[in-house]
Every structure is written in C-alpha cells, then in structure tokens.
Amino acid sequence: MGLITAFLISFSSYSAQLTSNEVVQIKKADGLVVFTGEARRINVGLSIFQNKKAANMLISGVNDNISRKGLARKHSRYNKILTCCVDLDYKALDTIGNARETALWAKKKKLKSLIVVTSAYHMPRSLLLLKQQLDDEVELKPFPVKLSHFDEWWTSTKSTKIVVVEYFKYIASMLSIELKLSS
C-alpha cells in the first residue's frame, strides 16, 4: 500500500469522527476533565458534572488571566459548582500539558475512570496522550463536543485548516510515542 493511500485511509477514518451523528451515552465516572479551548467545552463539562455523572472535575489549561470568580461569572449558570467543587489547572499550556496535569490530578484523587471532554477533532490526540500518561490505570470515557461549524468542516478554510493541523499533530504524537517505546 502506498504512502498516499495509507494517508487517505487514515485521514478519512480520523475525519469521519467529526461528522458522526452517534449519540454518546454518558456513564458515571470517578472524575471528569475538560481540556480548555472553545468555551462550549467548559459548558458541556459543567453540565455533565452538575448532572452528577462524576464525583470530581478538573478544568485543565485555564488561562492565568481568568480567576475562579471570573470563570464563574462567564459560566453563571454553574456559578455554585465552579466556586466550590471544580479544580482548576493553570499549569497546562498545551495538550501534552493537559494530559500530564490531568494524570497527576487523577493519581492524586485515586480515580479509576475519567470522562474526557474536548472537541471532537481534538479527542483522538487527547486520548492518546492521556493513555500514555496514565498507563491504562484509568478507564477513559470520551465525550467529544461537536461544534456545529464542523458538520461540513471541508467547506470552510478555517475549519479545514484546524482539522488538518490537528490530524498532523495526532500523527506526530503517535510517532513520538512509538519512538520513545522503541528506544
């Protein structure tokens, strides 16, 4: 099989996840983590947490300029739980940092299962990096956030760029992990 064919098959498989209409059933977990990015991710995570699908919650990659009170104001519907019950990670600056900080948090809390909330295009790499950090110690339950402007991502230059860049980051992460394992 040629390199181009392998790329096309791999990219097709990856991009099919973005337009899937499969409804994800939320099963209870010990914890829930949201990787920051689009604001909708945080709302979705807070909604899941408020519905008592997890006992612990972490928002990973919170901007240094955003205080807990500021976050609670921005997501006022969840003001109560944000001010008392959600852990905030300010250390993670990228997806690798999200995975590292989430793993430390999960180990500290002795979690056995974790709902992972991030955008659908970001989920494959997020899970890959989390699995590397957690060594199968924690069951990961992905909850991909579908963004309406990604339903036909190929029709928008901006969305296409995001998908293609994220795909190559995913491949680079896979290769990096393989290289570490083989050395």
pLDDT confidence of 115, banded at 50, 70, 90? very high
* CA dist., res. 107 & res. 84, Å (int): 21
How far is residue 16 from each of residues 40, 151, 171, measured CA to CA in Å? Answer: 21, 10, 16
**Statement: 24-148 belongs to CATH 3.40.50.720:** no
**Average pLDDT over all residues of the chain:** 89
**Per-residue model confidence as pLDDT tens digits over 11-57:** 888 887 776 667 678 889 999 999 998 878 999 999 999 999 999 99
Q: What percent of the chain has pLDDT over 90?
A: 58
